């Protein structure tokens, strides 16, 4: 309940006290007009403050709040003077009521949105407990002075007041029809109906107890009215909360209600004691009721605002996590630690595995992971919240390919309060793995060259390493024949190669980085990246071509790979020529 709604509700309750008496006290019409004028002025000040800057708006809202409290204090004074036939000097009760009612509300406005709000809640609870203790002692001290007739008369008057209060609560709920959503309005009226039903049941129970045990109405009436006031406090708390918070689980709602509204229910014994104290000391009884109800409502307002800020912070945190989750370049999955079922996955993980990310939900990690031997890979051993595992895994893609990934698994608590979950972050390291394997293959090829292995076998190992390193590409290693033609020595074996493509390849001045489309088109490929292999004196020894089945733009990595393969082919062919020359000289010398 906002401060403005609280002030207007208090004003309506005071007006109801006077309106219920207009048939007997027509002279109070002028006072009603004054109260209505003050209410209009307060509402105008509040509406005007909505258009002002923050600093000036606070001033106008305090003025509006002061008008509401002053009007309520005057109405309380008139109520006690005309209903209870108690004459109290106007300045005394008005000023005292204004003081005890205004301080908590002004503190709530001043500290709203600051860290001191929780301290204020504890302070209000302390004031409420102290007030209850003082009134309890005062009640015990004056208990013997009450008679049944006086108690009955007082209870009858309070019955009329509370009946009017129930009607006005219904009117307040109806007024919200023009400003609130339908779901929230339905919840308000449901709570209001429950409140009225409990109130009627308590009244009937009180009458039955009075007739059976001959107990004065006032005693039973005050005892059984605790339940309706509990519903009033619950309405003030639940009906003013954000719809997202109100839709929490019932168990969580009950816990929040007990933790935050429970201390505010101290208003019930305060009301009970104040009814009896009001006969001998009306200003103490009136002030106690006003102060107690004010503290209760201020506390409910502060709790609502604190919970609203907490809920907003939680929603912002969830929104930030969702943005990071959806837009992260790493693949992220939320996995059940026991079954390995993927509860959620982001788009990056779907791209890594060639799956639509929504199709990954419900799959098991064991079905996507493969071991070095080709079988399925199990889950890490069970752990506790906060445990972290870092490992490298191979995952099976949708097309049957293999994805090497560095996986970081963190076990954490489920934010919704369920069982633990595992957050898996998957980083693609396939390029690093391919580069490492290619480096190993390059060292192996250099050893084969040094050991005078057959050049065809050496270059076949090189072509296989290139195919593994560059997925989707075929490597063809060509050697210039004596007749000027083009001959395959290692790698993919195309059906035929055209001489004009080779001539263009051999005579191009800038052959280290050219797309020789004719070479690829001759054998059915969509694109090709080629390089000429030359000896140290510039003689053309052959060529290297990377043939691709799809159109693509060549990157610096493709150029670097082509140059590396060309240098290794040149090294192998040069070594073969030198080796053949040495063998020839050895045989020639022997002859």
How many helices (H) and strands (E) would you count in the chain? 21, 10
How many distinct structural domains can be found in the chain?
A: 3
Q: If we measure between CA atoms, which residue out of 542, 491, 545 comes closest to residue 520?
A: 545
Of the candidates 309, 338, 364, which is a domain's last residue? Answer: 309
pTM for this prediction = 0.44
Q: Which of 272-276, 327-331, 454-458 has the lowest mean pLDDT?
A: 272-276
- Beta partners for 488? 478
346: pLDDT strictly greater than 80? yes
At 438, the pLDDT band (50, 70, 90 cuts) reads confident
402: pLDDT strictly greater than 50? yes
pLDDT for res 72: 60
Q: Is residue 276 part of a domain?
A: yes
Q: What percent of the chain has pLDDT over 90?
A: 0
Q: Is residue 465 part of a domain?
A: yes
Q: Is residue 323 part of a domain?
A: no
pLDDT for res 33: 47
pLDDT tens-digit readout, 165-224: 444 444 444 444 443 444 444 444 444 444 444 554 555 555 555 555 555 544 444 444
Of the candidates 428, 448, 466, which is a domain's last residue? Answer: 428
At 340, the pLDDT band (50, 70, 90 cuts) reads confident
Q: Mark whether 346 and 476 lie in a shared domain.
A: no
- What does the pLDDT average to over 297-305? 61
451: pLDDT strictly greater than 60? yes
pLDDT for res 398: 81
40: pLDDT strictly greater than 60? no
Q: How many CB atoms lie within 10 A of CB 281?
A: 15
Of the candidates 428, 463, 479, which is a domain's last residue? Answer: 428
**Long-range CB contacts (within 8 A, 24+) of 239-242:** 239/1, 239/184, 239/187, 239/188, 239/191, 240/1, 240/2, 240/5, 240/300, 240/301, 240/304, 241/304, 241/307, 241/308, 242/308, 242/311
Length of the chain, in residues: 591
Q: Mark whether 361 and 473 lie in a shared domain.
A: no
pLDDT for res 147: 40
Q: Mark whether 165 and 47 lie in a shared domain.
A: yes
At 71, the pLDDT band (50, 70, 90 cuts) reads low
pLDDT for res 279: 53
As a whole number, the mean pLDDT across the chain is 60
Q: Is residue 363 part of a domain?
A: yes
Q: If we measure between CA atoms, which residue out of 417, 413, 425, 405 comes closest to residue 387?
A: 413
pLDDT tens-digit readout, 361-397: 888 888 888 765 555 555 666 667 777 888 888 888 8
Q: Is residue 36 part of a domain?
A: yes
pLDDT tens-digit readout, 510-568: 443 343 444 444 444 556 667 777 777 777 777 777 776 666 666 667 777 777 777 88
CATH number, domain with residue 496: 3.30.450.40
**Gyration radius of the chain's alpha carbons:** 44
pLDDT for res 465: 80
At 345 the three-state DSSP class reads strand
Cα–Cα distance for residue pair 460/138, rounded to 1 Å? 104
Q: Mark whether 43 and 183 lie in a shared domain.
A: yes
Q: Mark whether 233 and 136 lie in a shared domain.
A: yes
Q: Is residue 402 part of a domain?
A: yes
At 342, the pLDDT band (50, 70, 90 cuts) reads confident
234: pLDDT strictly greater than 60? no
pLDDT for res 217: 47
pLDDT for res 66: 55
Q: Is residue 8 part of a domain?
A: yes
Q: What are phi and psi of 527, to 5 degrees?
A: -155, 160
Q: Mark whether 244 and 147 lie in a shared domain.
A: yes
Angle of the 226-238 helix axis to the 250-260 helix axis, nearest 10: 110
pLDDT for res 586: 72
353: pLDDT strictly greater than 80? yes
- What does the pLDDT average to over 336-361? 84
- What does the pLDDT average to over 76-84? 57
pLDDT for res 120: 57
pLDDT for res 569: 80
Q: Mark whether 422 and 453 lie in a shared domain.
A: no
Q: Mark whether 273 and 360 lie in a shared domain.
A: no
pLDDT for res 255: 54
Q: Mark whether 244 and 158 lie in a shared domain.
A: yes
99: pLDDT strictly greater than 80? no
96: pLDDT strictly greater than 50? no
Cα–Cα distance for residue pair 274/408, rounded to 1 Å? 64
462: pLDDT strictly greater than 50? yes
Range of the domain at 295: 3-309
- What does the pLDDT average to over 51-57? 51
Q: Mark whether 404 and 304 lie in a shared domain.
A: no
Q: Mark whether 259 and 356 lie in a shared domain.
A: no
pLDDT tens-digit readout, 409-419: 888 876 655 56
Q: Is residue 319 part of a domain?
A: no
Q: Which of 151-155, 481-485, 567-571 has the lowest mean pLDDT?
A: 151-155
Q: Mark whether 378 and 491 lie in a shared domain.
A: no
pLDDT for res 32: 52
Q: How many CB atoms lie within 10 A of CB 498?
A: 14
At 430, the pLDDT band (50, 70, 90 cuts) reads confident
pLDDT for res 293: 60
Residue with tokens 């693949």: 331
At 300 the three-state DSSP class reads helix
CATH number, domain with residue 380: 3.30.450.20
């Amino acid at each position: 309940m906002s401060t403005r709604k609280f002030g207007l509700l208090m004003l309506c309750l005071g007006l109801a006290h006077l309106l219920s008496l207009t048939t007997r006290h027509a002279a109070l019409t002028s006072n009603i007009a004054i109260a209505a004028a003050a209410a209009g002025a307060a509402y105008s000040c509040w509406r005007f403050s909505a258009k002002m800057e923050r600093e000036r708006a606070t001033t106008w809202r305090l003025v509006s709040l002061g008008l509401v409290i002053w009007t309520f204090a005057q109405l309380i004074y008139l109520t006690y003077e005309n209903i209870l036939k108690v004459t109290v000097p106007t300045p005394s009760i008005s000023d005292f009521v204004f003081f005890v009612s205004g301080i908590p509300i002004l503190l709530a406005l001043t500290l709203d949105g600051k860290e001191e709000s929780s301290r204020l809640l504890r302070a209000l609870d302390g004031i409420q407990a102290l007030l209850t203790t003082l009134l309890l002692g005062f009640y015990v001290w004056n208990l013997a002075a009450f008679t049944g007739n006086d108690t009955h008369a007082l209870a009858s008057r309070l019955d009329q007041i509370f009946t009017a209060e129930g009607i006005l609560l219904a009117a307040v709920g109806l007024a919200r029809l023009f400003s609130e959503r339908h779901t929230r309005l339905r919840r308000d009226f449901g709570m209001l109906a429950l409140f009225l039903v409990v109130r009627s049941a308590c009244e009937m129970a009180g009458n039955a107890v009075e007739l059976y045990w001959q107990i004065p109405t006032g005693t039973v009436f005050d005892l059984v009215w605790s339940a309706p006031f509990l519903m009033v406090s619950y309405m003030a708390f639940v009906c003013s909360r954000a719809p997202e918070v109100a839709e929490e689980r019932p168990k969580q709602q009950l816990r929040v209600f007990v933790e935050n509204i429970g201390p505010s229910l101290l208003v019930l014994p305060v009301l009970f004691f104040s009814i009896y104290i009001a006969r001998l000391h009306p200003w103490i009884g009136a002030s106690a009721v006003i102060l107690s109800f004010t503290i209760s409502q201020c506390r409910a307002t502060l709790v609502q605002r604190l919970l609203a800020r907490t809920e907003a912070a939680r929603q912002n945190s969830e929104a930030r996590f969702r943005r990071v989750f959806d837009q992260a370049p790493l693949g992220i999955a939320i996995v059940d630690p026991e079954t390995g079922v993927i509860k959620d996955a982001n788009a990056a993980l779907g791209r890594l595995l060639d799956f639509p990310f929504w199709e990954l939900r419900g799959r098991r990690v064991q079905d996507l992971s493969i071991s070095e031997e080709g079988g399925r890979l199990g889950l890490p051993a069970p752990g506790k919240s906060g445990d972290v595992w870092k490992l490298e895994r191979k995952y099976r893609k949708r097309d049957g390919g293999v994805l090497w990934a560095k996986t970081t698994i963190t076990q954490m608590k489920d934010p919704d309060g369920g069982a633990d979950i595992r957050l898996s972050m998957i980083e693609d390291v396939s390029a690093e793995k391919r580069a490492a394997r290619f480096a190993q293959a390059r060292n192996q090829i250099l050893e084969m060259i040094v050991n005078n292995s057959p050049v065809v076998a050496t270059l076949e190992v090189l072509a296989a390493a290139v195919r593994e390193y560059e997925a989707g590409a075929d490597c063809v290693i060509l050697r210039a024949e004596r007749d000027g033609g083009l001959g395959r020595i290692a790698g993919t074996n195309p059906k035929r190669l055209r001489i004009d493509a080779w001539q263009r390849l051999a005579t191009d001045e800038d052959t280290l980085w050219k797309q020789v489309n004719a070479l690829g088109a001759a054998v059915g490929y969509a694109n090709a990246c080629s390089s000429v292999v030359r000896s140290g004196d510039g003689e053309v020894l052959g060529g290297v071509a990377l043939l691709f089945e799809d159109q693509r733009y060549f990157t610096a990595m493709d150029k670097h790979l082509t140059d590396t393969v060309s240098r290794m082919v040149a090294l192998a062919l040069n070594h073969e020529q030198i080796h053949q020359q040495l063998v020839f000289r050895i045989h020639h010398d022997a002859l």
